[in-house]
Amino acid sequence: MLIEISPADHGVEIDLVYATDRNFTGRPIYRRPVCYLNEDAAEGLRRAVAIAEPLGLRLRVLDAFRPSEAQWLLWNHTPDPNFIADPRRGSPHSRGAAVDLTLLDGNGRALDMGTGFDDLRPLSHHGTTDLAPEAQRNRLLLLGLMTAAGWDFYRNEWWHYQLFDARAKYPVLSDIEAGTAMM
């Protein structure tokens, strides 16, 4: 079961980049900009928000549940398994078990992470040292916060976090199966 994630209920800012043309495909993927996660992931997001709050930080969600149809669109545009999950295996996003996000300061400004979201270059990898020290610190802050909240990370994308064993625990969902009307 998917839970709708909203700023009021979950204390996050939402900017679903795939509902806009501000993504690597240059066109909207989602017809309707609505944010969902499965129940376990929604609870994990609540934990992350609770950890960030006393630090004067907030989370901006850039992507969450991604219907399998959307995963195919991304894969067909850029079939690079280093950054795009092969839809035949299923993405943790298509299971409602992954979230792409960044950190905001107390004034709502995004912290410098060294690259933008969906920058499909090695500079986006966790642990790269080819960045300004501030960006490295911010990435490590996000990594620590999300890890403390119970999330696993994907080594090639500083913004991507997923539940452990997502592929074994949760089914891939299409837009129709999920009832999200995103596509």
For residue 14, the model assigns a pLDDT of 98
Confidence of residue 162 (pLDDT cuts 50, 70, 90): very high
Handedness of CA 90, 96, 98, 100 (dihedral sign): positive
For residue 72, the model assigns a pLDDT of 98
Catalytic residue among 39, 43, 134, 157: 157
d(CA 30, CA 183): 5
**Mean of per-residue pLDDT scores for the chain:** 97
The mean pLDDT of 59-81, rounded to a whole number, is: 98
Bridge-based pairing of strands 2-4 and 160-162 is unpaired
For residue 93, the model assigns a pLDDT of 98
How confident is the model over 26-52, as pLDDT tens digits? 999 999 999 999 999 999 999 999 999
User: Could you tell me if 149 and 51 are in contact, meaning their C-beta atoms sit under 8 angstroms apart?
Assistant: yes
d(CA 54, CA 46): 13
- Residue 69 known to be catalytic: no
For residue 159, the model assigns a pLDDT of 98
Confidence of residue 135 (pLDDT cuts 50, 70, 90): very high
The predicted model scores a pTM of: 0.97
The mean pLDDT of 65-92, rounded to a whole number, is: 97
User: What does the DSSP 8-state code read for residue 31?
Assistant: S
The mean pLDDT of 165-182, rounded to a whole number, is: 97
User: Could you tell me if 14 and 105 are in contact, meaning their C-beta atoms sit under 8 angstroms apart?
Assistant: no
For residue 22, the model assigns a pLDDT of 97
d(CA 104, CA 86): 31
Q: Give the chain's domains with CATH numbers.
A: 2-178 (3.30.1380.10)
For residue 71, the model assigns a pLDDT of 98
How confident is the model over 95-133, as pLDDT tens digits? 999 999 999 999 999 999 999 999 999 999 999 999 999
User: Could you tell me if 94 and 68 are in contact, meaning their C-beta atoms sit under 8 angstroms apart?
Assistant: yes
